[in-house]
Homo-oligomer: A and B are copies of this chain.
Amino acid sequence: MTRVLLATRNQKKLAELRRILAVEEVSGLEVLGLADVDEFEEAPETGATFEENALAKARDAAAATGLASVADDSGLTVDALNGMPGVLSARWAGQHGDDRANLDLVLAQLTDVGDERRGAAFVCAAALVVPGGEETVVRGEWRGALTRKARGTNGFGYDPIFVPEGETRTSAELDPAEKDAQSHRGRALRALVPALRQLARA
């Protein structure tokens, strides 16, 4: 079995990544989390793009562990905020990882922004770095619009305020399999599958 490390400390993101890869059934691949390897220090996310950050995280993990490593960087891009929070999605309200503060701030900033200007997209860049081998970076996008109130308890991050195109429910009201089938992370991970299959065969 070829081992591949999913390099994220976000447990909900890890669960999504595992779920999406499980559906794809890449044979010959053993999927590890950070709990399965020795601890290592991560560099701060200072890139200007999702792709830079995903690649930096995957490179750090591959260098520290010697394992083929997958990392993602993802976030919400809001049209009326010129594409922000973007790479700052996880720390939009100032502290890292406070989902509720982050989405409350976006809703407050958009108080006077009308329905016709509430478009947004979730974006996910996913990177696979093979030590001494190839680097692959892919991107998935999921268009939708923002609500005026949070709704739903599934998912994480900005899911409770994002209604995907063609849906009336927020992405926090979709069940996990429905979300994975459409989501930015689902699209990005599926785009990595050919590289993962190649890795498993190598």
Contacts and interface: CB of A to CB of B under 8 A. Distances in A.
A91 B111 contact: yes
Interface in A76-111: 80-84, 86, 88, 91-95, 104-105, 108-109, 111
Contact of A82 (B46, B84, B104): B84
A15 interface: no
A95 B95 CA distance: 18
Nearest to A104: B94
A93 B109 CA distance: 7
Interface residues of A, number: 25
Given A93-B105, A94-B104, A94-B105, A112 B82 contact: no
B80 A112 contact: no
B83 A82 contact: yes
19 contacts: A44-B112, A46-B112, A46-B114, A48-B80, A48-B117, A81-B84, A81-B88, A82-B82, A82-B84, A88-B109, A91-B108, A91-B111, A93-B105, A93-B108, A94-B104, A94-B108, A94-B109, A95-B108, A105-B105
Interface of A: 44-46, 48, 80-84, 86, 88, 91-95, 104-105, 108-109, 111-114, 117
